[in-house]
Homo-oligomer: A and B are copies of this chain.
Amino acid sequence: MSADTGETPVVESARRKRTRDRLIDAAYDVFAEHGIAAATVEQITEQAGFTRGAFYSNFESKEELFFALADRENQVRFDRLEAGLTAYLPERGQITTDQISGIVRDFLGLQPDNRSWCLMQSEFQMLALRDPEVGKTYISGENRAMSMLGARLDELVAMVGLRFTMDSRELSQVLGAIYSDGITRVMLAGSSNPGPDTIDEVSDTIARIVQAFTEPIPA
């Protein structure tokens, strides 16, 4: 296609990325307003100011667009976690439960978009449960994310002379489950600006688990 317009692949690729980003932004708004099942490709392209053709030259389906949205949202949260971890990195071999709680509490400090995102994830998970093909893509995406997180956590704790006593992928899955469960309970309790108590509770639980499965690397 770049041959037709005479554009270089670099320009084409930057433009393509902008188009994709605008479609993902639009999808976020449309999914949040109407729900994923009810949202149509037309609503998304209209919101983004594109044609259906632009949509289908970038995404095969609404589901594929959701996966792109999820990748972006996960990356934002991953970067934020990593920044928090790096900022708090303690002295060698001295990470305490309180320090871990602090990192998690900061990370859990719910952004304004979290309620929408939490709803979207719940709905998408349900759609994935009903559709085996979507389910398989969903679960391999999650497995990839957990392996990435686990590997990064391994590197980070090794920097301060620590290591996990549970496989880091498994530990990431555990922490992810407690985190999702905690966020969901905060949301269910009926507040999009949850009080400090609930967040502190989830943070302390995560900190206790991390502490229980961390040990100094023997000299």
User: Among residues 110 to 160 in chain A, which have CB atoms less than 8 Å away from a CB atom of chain B?
Assistant: 118-119, 122-123, 125-126, 128-130, 132, 135-136, 138-139, 142
The answer to whether A119 and B130 touch (CB under 8 A), given A135-B189, A176-B181, A180-B177, is yes
Question: Interface residues of A toward B: which range?
Answer: 35 or more
User: Among residues 168 to 210 in chain A, which have CB atoms less than 8 Å away from a CB atom of chain B?
Assistant: 170, 173-174, 176-178, 180-182, 184-185, 187-190, 201, 205, 208-209
**Which residues of B lie under 8 Å from residue A170 when comparing CB positions?**
201, 205
Query: Could you say which of A119, A177, A180, A212 has the most chain B C-beta atoms within 10 Å of its C-beta?
Result: A177
Is the CB–CB distance between A126 and B119 below 8 Å?
Answer: yes
A137 to chain B, nearest CB (A): 9
On A, residues with C-beta under 8 Å from B are: 118-119, 122-123, 125-126, 128-130, 132, 135-136, 138-139, 142, 166, 170, 173-174, 176-178, 180-182, 184-185, 187-190, 201, 205, 208-209, 212-213
